[in-house]
Structure 1
Amino acid sequence: MSLQGILDAVTMMDRSVRLARRNVDTLFASILMPLLMMALFVYVFGGAINTGTEYINYVVPGILLLTTGYGAASTAMVVADDMTSGMIDRLRSLPIRSFAVLTGHVTGSVARNAASTAIVILASLAMGFRPAGSVVDWLATIGLLLLYVLALSWLAAGLGVIAKSVESASTLSFFMLFLPYLSSAFVRPETMPSWLRPISEHQPITPVIETVRSLLIGTPLGNNGWIALAWCCGLLLFSVTLATSLYRKRTSR
């Protein structure tokens, strides 16, 4: 990457972060919805769900991934807005590298997710979450969540590129919000119907949740750590390739 390319990327990163600060309602929603879901499951459903441990300790790792899903979904809508509002045409008239546009949006997504995740963790501690992980465990958790957020944000950026409107981008990114409900985020997979259990056990989000759960509250890790890394790295590679190729194809018209 050339020096000019790096400078272009930094410029678009700064733009994306400033847009995130101005778009308070999107940031608020990405924080409020996970908090409401956590309160709903802990205070309403938690007493009826047996996970072998305090339910809030069980559910917080899943809520953290749900939070990143809301943040990534907003990335798809922001990219779609740029693609359909004429902003991309304006940027194409400037000497800015094409990859810098998506890089800026992804960076903004990571910044939003970092803020919302920190708030969710603080709220969970106030609600009774008691992690037992060491400093190293927390650093490993942060690293894994960052990798997952990057992969999901690049995928969302690709969806935003192909969306014909902001509304359709929201629809395309719906699975990011829905998939955690089919994982081990809220209940143990063995309590699910026999036809649904394999989906829960072998989808990409479950090993990520189980790895975070192991790091923070000490549940058995097994092979989940390696599987989670493989899923995240594979999804990141696929998403970056998909998003950049779709962007080049659409902007070359």
Structure 2
Amino acid sequence: MTTLAATPLAATPSPSPVADVVTMLRRNLLRAVRYPGLTMFLVAGPLVMLVLFVYVFGGALGAGVMPGVAPGADGRAAYLDYITPTLFVLTIVGAGQSVAISAAMDAASGIMARFKTMAISPGSVLSGQVLGTVLQSLAALVLVLGAALAMGYRPDADVLDWLALLGLFVLLGLALSWLCVAMGLNARSVETASNTPMILLLLPFLGSGFVPVETMPTAVRWFAEYQPFTPIIETVRGLLAGGAGLEGAVVAQAVGWTVAIGVAGYAWARSLYRRERRL
């Protein structure tokens, strides 16, 4: 009697998380090239606001944010110093809005469902989008900083301050990107995904982003002081000023809020990715 030897099945290649993340990161960056409108929005929005608020409103608002400054050219210079840190934060928020749209496009087109059937690391699909968004936001920050410098902005930050700013910007970019990815996956359509993160763009207006919270009515001031973006903006503002007047409690609040947003966004995004998209 002849015994047939069992033929071994071809082993399914195990996913490599690092290689898969790099592949998805490359895909995200290529999408940024193919959809230049989303990429231009990251820079165009903050630049328009920079020009508008400094050259149109800055002469008057600068005299309000900096006591003893006269309206006009001095006011514009003072307001440029005040608003530039806010626009850095808004640049990162705008990048989060773009990744929400990208995540919704992938979910609506069915490509994410296809990825689930492939031998790739499950976390790489979303991680590649998040990392790509962080890199794009950092590139956009350089352009916004260059525009502010051309307009006369002169930060007092030293090397350590710039390194701390870089760390905070990366942490904030990761946190907001994860949250916006979740918003995009949760949206019923791409149009809805583009509107949902708008609340993040409004919060700096309801904080210390454009005017000091001390000038606000009591109820609005209370909200402005205890919402996430006020300590984040104040930390950025303090580091750019060379640490002048920057309190440790404010930095702790900024980091704490950023970590909390990132953890919540990551958990929400992974949960939405695991389940089937509802039609």
Structure 2 counterpart of 1:62, from 86, 90, 106? 86
Residue 140 (structure 2) aligns with: 116
Runs of 4+ that moved beyond 6 A: none
Structure 1 counterpart of 2:228, which letter?
P
Structure 2 residue 65 is matched with structure 1 residue 51? yes
Q: How does 1:53-92 map to 2 (within 5 A)?
A: 54-92=78-116
Write the distance in 1 (CA, Å) between the matches of 2:245 and 2:275.
45
Is residue 233 of structure 1 aligned with residue 259 of structure 2?
yes
Local SS of the residue matching 1:98: coil
C-alpha deviation, 1:185, in angstroms: 0.9
Report matched runs for 1:161-172 at 5 Å: 161-172=185-196
**Aligned AA (2:25):** M
1:29 corresponds, among 41, 62, 83, to 41
Using the size of structure 2 for normalisation, the TM-score is: 0.86
* Residue 194 (structure 1) aligned with residue 218 (structure 2): yes
Could you list the runs of 5+ residues in structure 2 that have no partner in the other structure? Answer: 1-13, 70-77
Answer yes or no: is 1:250 the counterpart of 2:276: yes
Q: Percent identity?
A: 40
Q: Deviations over 1:96-148 (max 9, x none)?
A: 12211110110111111011111000000001111001011011011111101
Q: What is the deviation of 1:26?
A: 0.9
Inter-CA distance 252–98: structure 2 relative to 1 (3 Å threshold)? farther
Residue 234 of structure 2 is aligned to residue 220 of structure 1:
no
Aligned length: 252
DSSP 3-state at the match of 1:114 = helix
Residue 18 (str. 1) matches residue 44 (str. 2):
no
Counterparts of 1:40 and 1:100 in 2: how far apart (Å)? Answer: 40
Structure 1: which 5+ runs fail to align? Answer: none
State the shift of 1:234 in Å: 1.4
Taking structure 1 as the reference length, the TM-score comes to: 0.95
Aligned to 1:82, the other structure's residue is in SS state helix
Residue 131 of structure 2: aligned partner: 107
Letter in 2 for 1:105: Q
1:208 counterpart (221, 232, 252) = 232
Alignment match of 2:157 (pick from 133, 143, 158)? 133
Q: Which has the higher helix share?
A: 1
User: Which fold has the larger relative contact order, with Cα–Cα distance below 8 Å and residues 6 or more apart in sequence?
Assistant: 1
SS state at 1:128 partner: coil
| Code of the aligned partner of 1:132 | D
CA contact (8 A) 2:54 2:79 kept: yes
Aligned to 1:143: 167
